[in-house]
Amino acid sequence: MEKVIVTGANGFIGSAVVRELIYHNINVTAICRNLCDNIVANENLNIRKFSLENIVDLEQEIINERYDTFYHFAWAGSAGSTRTNTELQLKNAQWTIDCLRLAKKLGCRRFVCAGSIMEIETIAAAYAQENKPGLGYIYGSGKLVAHTMAKCVAADIGIELLWAEITNAYGEGEVSPRFVNTTIRKIINNEPLQFTAATQNYDFVHISDVARAFYLIGKNGKPFCNYLIGSSTARPLKEFITELRNAIAPEKELFFGDIPFTGINLSLDKFDTSKTEKDTGFKAEVTFYEGVRRTRDWLVKEVK
């Protein structure tokens, strides 16, 4: 890789990947919707402001430029109540295809897209007999639609698709109400720590490892393959929660079973990262214990 485009470049994951790519002396054109405050100026960085709704118009601005790889992270409604917005999630799928076609026009050989382990969970939840999936699976459905359509279109137009399914990214810079972030904030604010029984299998991977994984997938991944980005230490959620507590607030009491669990419990084999490690050379380096301590330190500064 020498010259790449990154959509969603100001987001939690997108900005981390931009920093990783620049670290490897790759020229990056970063596409941001509005603010670009998570990206530090660099001679190898070119920032352009474009929304997903108008992404096809980007071609006219860079018509004479050529790129080799397109990273797509922009996704409206990836956290909070908008995850349940069916219209928005379907639009995200179409915008993914728009970006894919744009990548081809700009000369890109590869298109690397951020998927989610929610895709696997959504299939399990939606096709289980007599199960009543929660609204949260609408987000996963949008990712599934984008994934299947992108694979078909990529094969048709002749561009290499690499689909990276993230387990659960966390770390410094995370501002959304996702699990690790929310739990650490509760500890900082001295709120009670109430959870489900937390027997479902889970995995978390630190943002620095996620960024490195995307770099290696873009560089070494095989065309039309799915790559799971995880820690390779998946286990019951209760063990992660206990480790988080031990790392930053060992005096705190945990309450399990106070909140009902209505999701799907994936088997541990669904968290297998061996293909990612074999094909790309990626292996997570930051332990969960160390990662949550770093995240806590960052959040404390943010609160202040």
pTM score of the predicted model: 0.96
Query: Is residue 221 a part of any domain in this protein?
Result: no
Q: Is the distance from CB of 39 to CB of 30 less than 8 angstroms?
A: yes
User: What tokens were used for 148?
Assistant: 């299947």
Nearest 10 degrees: Cα torsion 275, 178, 286, 301: 160
Query: Is residue 11 a part of any domain in this protein?
Result: yes
User: What tokens were used for 158?
Assistant: 């002749």
Task: Give the per-residue pLDDT at 236.
Answer: 97
Query: Is residue 90 a part of any domain in this protein?
Result: yes
CATH number for the domain including 39? 3.40.50.720
Ramachandran angles phi, psi of 152, nearest 5°? -65, -45
What amino acid is encoded at 95 in this protein? Answer: W
Q: Is the distance from CB of 167 to CB of 229 less than 8 angstroms?
A: yes
Q: Any idea which residue has 């739990």 for tokens?
A: 183
User: What tokens were used for 171?
Assistant: 């770390």
Query: Is residue 162 a part of any domain in this protein?
Result: yes
Query: Is residue 247 a part of any domain in this protein?
Result: no
28 contact partners, CB below 8 Å, separation of at least 6: 4, 5, 6, 9, 18, 21, 22, 44, 45, 46
Q: Any idea which residue has 């930051």 for tokens?
A: 286
Q: Any idea which residue has 């290499």 for tokens?
A: 160
Q: Is the distance from CB of 295 to CB of 174 less than 8 angstroms?
A: yes
Query: Is residue 110 a part of any domain in this protein?
Result: yes
In 180-204, which positions are buried (b, 16+ CB within 10 angstroms) versus exposed (e)? bbebbeebeeeeebebbebeebbbb
Structurally, the chain folds into a number of domains equal to: 1
Query: Is residue 256 a part of any domain in this protein?
Result: no
Which of 229, 228, 217, 239 has the alpha carbon at shortest distance from 286?
Answer: 229
234 contact partners, CB below 8 Å, separation of at least 6: 167, 201, 202, 203, 268, 271
Task: Give the per-residue pLDDT at 63.
Answer: 76
Strands of the chain, DSSP E: 3-7, 27-32, 45-49, 69-72, 110-116, 160-166, 169-170, 193-195, 201-202, 205-206, 225-229, 235-236, 254-256
Task: Give the per-residue pLDDT at 79.
Answer: 82
Q: Is the distance from CB of 36 to CB of 30 less than 8 angstroms?
A: yes
Q: 8 lies in which domain range?
A: 3-166
Query: Is residue 58 a part of any domain in this protein?
Result: yes
- Alpha carbons 239 and 76: distance in angstroms, whole number: 32
In 231-247, which positions are buried (b, 16+ CB within 10 angstroms) versus exposed (e)? bbebebbbebbebbbeb
Q: What is the pLDDT along the chain (304 residues), one digit of tens a residue?
A: 999 999 999 999 999 999 999 999 999 999 998 888 889 889 999 999 999 998 888 988 887 889 999 999 999 998 888 999 999 999 999 999 999 999 999 999 999 999 999 999 999 999 999 999 999 899 999 999 999 999 999 999 999 999 999 999 999 999 888 899 999 999 999 999 999 999 999 999 999 999 999 999 999 999 999 999 999 999 999 999 999 999 999 999 999 998 888 788 999 999 999 999 999 999 999 999 999 999 999 999 987 6
Neighbour count for residue 52 (Cβ, 10 Å):
21
The 3-class secondary structure across 203-222, one letter per residue, is CCEEHHHHHHHHHHHHHHCC
